[in-house]
Chains A and B, each alone.
Chain A
Amino acid sequence: MNAIAILLVVVLIAFTIALSIFSRRFTRTTADFYLAGRKVGSFSNASAISGDYLSAASFLGVAGAVYASGLDGVWFAAGFAGGFMVVVLFIASALRRFGEYTVADFAFGRFGSNRVRLITVLAVLLTSLFYMAPQMFGSGTTWQVLVGAGLFGMDPYTTGVVVVTAVMAFYVGVGGMKGTTLNQIFQFWWLWFAMFLVVVFAFGSGFNYPAALADASAEPIVNTKQLTATELTTPNAAGVTPLEQAEGIMTAEEFVGVEAFVESGAEGKIAVALPSSNKLHELRDQLFAEPGHRYNAFDQFSMVLALVLGTAGLPHILNRYYTNPSGAAARRSTFWVLVFIGTFYILAPIAGLAGIGFIRDYLAGGGEIAAASVHGLLVKPDQVMPTLGSILGGQWLMGVVAAGAFAAMFSTIGGLLIAAASAIGHDVYEKYVNPNASEAKRVAVGKTSVLLFALIAMGIGLAIPKFGLDQAYPALIAMMVTWAFSVGASAFVPMLLTGIWWKGTTEKGATAGIFVGLFSAIAIIFLNIMQQLGTIGKDGVLGFVGALTFPVLFTFPLALLTIIIVSKLDGQLPKNVDQIWMRIHGTASERHEKQHGLDKVGTMFGKSD
């Protein structure tokens, strides 16, 4: 147990709760609860959006993906950042000019039907759940590494999930968007600083970027995996068993233990080192600095599209754009977001690469680490950040990193809970269940929604290891986040792009597009999971579709085409389409606000009327 790390995490949690309680005084109306009164400045909003965006996948997952896969892992960082260009070019200012609360409000305002609003709400909830799952999984695994012990009879993983859920439900429920925004600003800078510190310590310990990259690329990448005795002795299609492959990679000393494990016929799994293969250029060795460890040619494109388009389909990020005071401020916020997260994403792959040499040398020198390892490599790449922190800076740096990991999870979960609460409380309750509810009652429903959604997410987090997903994918956190991006990119982005830029989009077209994009993406993801778990084979149509790691290359154009074709066939534009068009692209409101100085950023800490 790392006492300093636990202390720093406790300090982080206490500060987070204090900020929420402080913000509570300023949360009176639904605009305060969901949108922080629309008075968040560009720099603050950019920090909060960055905190919203940088989750466990970015803090733990990117470094882990680079550590395990080299260049294919670096793409996660570049793709995550690139997504904001789509937001700034096509969506940010139009969404803000439209001036509503949620994505579902936009769909309703643009297309004018309850049907399109409700399916958008469903898509928001499902996308948010897909994004919550990796945060919950990250909570459990980080607690495992950090604390290593459970509370109240629970195992460490379960304890991590339950504690994070409880803290998050409390602080989002109490602080609303203002509290969440303040927390996200603080959490973002903490996790940025933690990543920066790890990289500074690495350079201070003799790390040389080009030389380390050359060193890591000198030999083919080695994979680590935990396998049962049966799996180790089952030959692959070429007639070679993993045991034979491991013997070719591992040292004689290391391999003795594996042989003994197989001969004893023991239950459970043992970690082994295995050779990698190049999925992109099959005749080449898989080197660290070259593409192909994770993705074949199809997935190279599909993954890039999933990340680049997916950002514009994340409801908790889109909701943040409504907190800007103007369309121009929305653009400025996005520029700063790109600067903040760009610097972070330049640092994260450096940490992943540094982990290879430092962890290998530390273990070779007889050092001991909390995380499982084999052949000088971590068995779970997602643990590279805390492990590297511990090696380079002892308990203090590991503590800063561990608190950074929790800050990353808190900030993203906070945004997701607000987005889900908006969908349930604002889009459903206020519009359909009780439109005449008092302001206090609306806020109360929003808080109840936060609690409800947090409990559902907790259930999913607890279920992940039970279904063996953590064993089926090498860097599960980054993988699950990419699934969320795929669902968002397929469900929302075609509707937003056509709704903003093509006047001819009809309600039926938009509804059909969301439906097709949402469910085709989810279906392909589940087929992929089933294939990885061995439930379905790799042959036939199901096998082909299930082999698609990222569905976006199919599902995004499918949804877009659905919108265009159905809209053309339908031809029923909203009666007030010109007025809607003026609301999206008109500038009279902004000219008026500019004339009277109303476009200036106010304080988040004034009480609403």
Chain B
Amino acid sequence: MGDSTLRVISTVGGDDTHVRHGDHTDTIESVDTVFRAQRKLSFSYGAVFFAVTLGIPASSVWWEGWYAVPIWGGFTANYLFVSLLYYVFLWGMAWTYSRQADKLDDKLAHLADAITADEAAKEVGTP
């Protein structure tokens, strides 16, 4: 493809259950562990994000104190949140998520290497 940085997948062990990049190997077991942890993190944050985001129109429909009562000059709580505070919420979510995802990546990297080493040890021990 002409892209020197494009990852090249090479399998080891004669089947499609390993992916090796240099000294590092993914097995389907290690990837499933990574996947489950990432899914938990992403969907937990996703649940909070959608609850807040869809909570705004829900409040706009059903909660008069939210959409019709001025709380600061002409600002209703609804206007204040949508025009200012919602961004603070987004920045906080994105920042903490990115930090946690990075930490998770590091943690899972060690875990994946450990699983791989364990698998390799078993293979060596197999007659």
* Interface residues in chain A, defined as those with a beta carbon under 8 Å from any beta carbon in chain B: 29-31, 35, 37-39, 71, 74-75, 77-78, 81-82, 84-86, 88-90, 93, 99, 101, 208-217, 280, 284, 288-291, 297, 300-301, 304-305, 308, 327-328, 331-332, 334-335, 338-339, 342-343, 345-346, 349, 439, 501, 576, 578-579, 581-583, 585-593, 595-596, 598, 608-609
State the CA gap A609–B5 with chains docked (Å): 10
State the CA gap A173–B43 with chains docked (Å): 40
Using A85-B94, A215-B74 as known contacts, say yes or no to A586 and B26 having CB atoms under 8 A apart. yes
Question: 6 new A-B pairs (CB below 8 Å) besides A71-B76, A331-B101?
Answer: A37-B3, A78-B56, A88-B94, A210-B73, A290-B76, A327-B105
- Encoded as 1 (CB less than 8 Å from any A CB) or 0, chain B from 87 to 114 comes to 1001101110110011001001100110
Interface centre among A86, A335, A608 (most CB of B within 10 A): A335
State the CA gap A598–B53 with chains docked (Å): 38
State the CA gap A525–B17 with chains docked (Å): 45
Q: Can you give 30 contacting A-B residue pairs, CB < 8 Å?
A: A71-B67, A71-B76, A74-B79, A74-B82, A75-B82, A78-B82, A84-B90, A85-B90, A90-B42, A99-B6, A210-B72, A214-B73, A215-B74, A217-B74, A300-B61, A305-B54, A328-B102, A339-B91, A346-B84, A579-B9, A579-B11, A585-B35, A587-B26, A587-B108, A587-B109, A589-B7, A589-B19, A591-B24, A608-B2, A608-B4
Q: What distance in Å separates the Cβ of A161 from its nearest Cβ neighbour in chain B?
A: 33
Please tell me which one of the listed residues B17, B74, B91 contacts residue A210 in the complex, with CB atoms under 8 A apart.
Answer: B74
Q: What distance in Å separates the Cβ of A236 from its nearest Cβ neighbour in chain B?
A: 26
Is A346 a contact of B83 with CB atoms below 8 Å? yes
Q: For residue B61, which residue of chain A has the nearest CB?
A: A297
- Encoded as 1 (CB less than 8 Å from any A CB) or 0, chain B from 55 to 83 comes to 01110110000011010111110110011
Q: For residue A300, which residue of chain B has the nearest CB?
A: B57
Residues in A neighbouring B95, C-beta threshold 8 A: 335
Is B17 a contact of A578 with CB atoms below 8 Å? yes
Main secondary structure of the interface of B (DSSP, over half): helix
Q: For residue A35, which residue of chain B has the nearest CB?
A: B3
Q: In chain B between 23 and 41, which residues have their CB closer than 8 angstroms to a CB of chain A?
A: 23-28, 30-32, 34-35, 38-39
Main secondary structure of the interface of A (DSSP, over half): helix
Residues in A neighbouring B70, C-beta threshold 8 A: 214, 217, 289
Residues in B neighbouring A581, C-beta threshold 8 A: 28, 31-32, 35
Q: What distance in Å separates the Cβ of A54 from its nearest Cβ neighbour in chain B?
A: 15
* Interface residues in chain B, defined as those with a beta carbon under 8 Å from any beta carbon in chain A: 1-7, 9, 11, 16-17, 19-28, 30-32, 34-35, 38-39, 42, 45-46, 49, 53-54, 56-58, 60-61, 67-68, 70, 72-76, 78-79, 82-84, 86-87, 90-91, 93-95, 97-98, 101-102, 105, 108-109, 112-113
The 4 closest A-B pairs by CB, nearest first: A210-B73, A213-B74, A214-B74, A586-B26
Residues in B neighbouring A86, C-beta threshold 8 A: 46, 49
Residues in B neighbouring A349, C-beta threshold 8 A: 83
Q: What distance in Å separates the Cβ of A381 from its nearest Cβ neighbour in chain B?
A: 17
Is A591 a contact of B21 with CB atoms below 8 Å? yes
Using A85-B49, A214-B73, A587-B34 as known contacts, say yes or no to A609 and B4 having CB atoms under 8 A apart. yes
State the CA gap A334–B109 with chains docked (Å): 22
Is B78 a contact of A291 with CB atoms below 8 Å? yes
Is B94 a contact of A280 with CB atoms below 8 Å? no
Q: For residue B17, which residue of chain A has the nearest CB?
A: A578
Is B34 a contact of A585 with CB atoms below 8 Å? yes
Is A71 a contact of B78 with CB atoms below 8 Å? yes
State the CA gap A484–B71 with chains docked (Å): 36
State the CA gap A334–B98 with chains docked (Å): 9
Q: What distance in Å separates the Cβ of A522 from its nearest Cβ neighbour in chain B?
A: 25
Please tell me which one of the listed residues B23, B56, B105 contacts residue A590 in the complex, with CB atoms under 8 A apart.
Answer: B105
Q: What distance in Å separates the Cβ of B79 from its nearest Cβ neighbour in chain A?
A: 5
Is A345 a contact of B87 with CB atoms below 8 Å? yes
Is A31 a contact of B97 with CB atoms below 8 Å? no
Please tell me which one of the listed residues B24, B28, B34, B61 contacts residue A280 in the complex, with CB atoms under 8 A apart.
Answer: B61
Is A304 a contact of B57 with CB atoms below 8 Å? yes
State the CA gap A591–B34 with chains docked (Å): 13
Q: What distance in Å separates the Cβ of A278 from its nearest Cβ neighbour in chain B?
A: 11
Q: What distance in Å separates the Cβ of A550 from its nearest Cβ neighbour in chain B?
A: 12
Using A211-B74, A581-B28 as known contacts, say yes or no to A334 and B94 having CB atoms under 8 A apart. yes
State the CA gap A349–B30 with chains docked (Å): 48
Residues in B neighbouring A99, C-beta threshold 8 A: 6-7
Q: What distance in Å separates the Cβ of A591 from its nearest Cβ neighbour in chain B?
A: 4
Q: For residue A85, which residue of chain B has the nearest CB?
A: B49
Is B94 a contact of A335 with CB atoms below 8 Å? yes
Is B101 a contact of A589 with CB atoms below 8 Å? no
Is A582 a contact of B26 with CB atoms below 8 Å? yes
Q: For residue A576, which residue of chain B has the nearest CB?
A: B16
Is B19 a contact of A81 with CB atoms below 8 Å? no
Please tell me which one of the listed residues B30, B60, B86, B113 contacts residue A300 in the complex, with CB atoms under 8 A apart.
Answer: B60
State the CA gap A99–B6 with chains docked (Å): 7
State the CA gap A501–B36 with chains docked (Å): 10
Q: For residue A591, which residue of chain B has the nearest CB?
A: B24
Q: What distance in Å separates the Cβ of A106 from its nearest Cβ neighbour in chain B?
A: 14
Is B73 a contact of A31 with CB atoms below 8 Å? no
Q: For residue B110, which residue of chain A has the nearest CB?
A: A591
Residues in B neighbouring A345, C-beta threshold 8 A: 87
State the CA gap A327–B34 with chains docked (Å): 14
Q: What distance in Å separates the Cβ of B54 from its nearest Cβ neighbour in chain A?
A: 7
State the CA gap A284–B95 with chains docked (Å): 40
Q: For residue B28, which residue of chain A has the nearest CB?
A: A578
Using A595-B22, A608-B4 as known contacts, say yes or no to A212 and B94 having CB atoms under 8 A apart. no
Interface centre among A78, A214, A215, A588 (most CB of B within 10 A): A588
Q: For residue B4, which residue of chain A has the nearest CB?
A: A609
Residues in B neighbouring A82, C-beta threshold 8 A: 49, 53, 86, 90
Q: What distance in Å separates the Cβ of B2 from its nearest Cβ neighbour in chain A?
A: 4
State the CA gap A587–B94 with chains docked (Å): 21
State the CA gap A289–B27 with chains docked (Å): 55
Please tell me which one of the listed residues B4, B87, B90, B113 contacts residue A591 in the complex, with CB atoms under 8 A apart.
Answer: B113
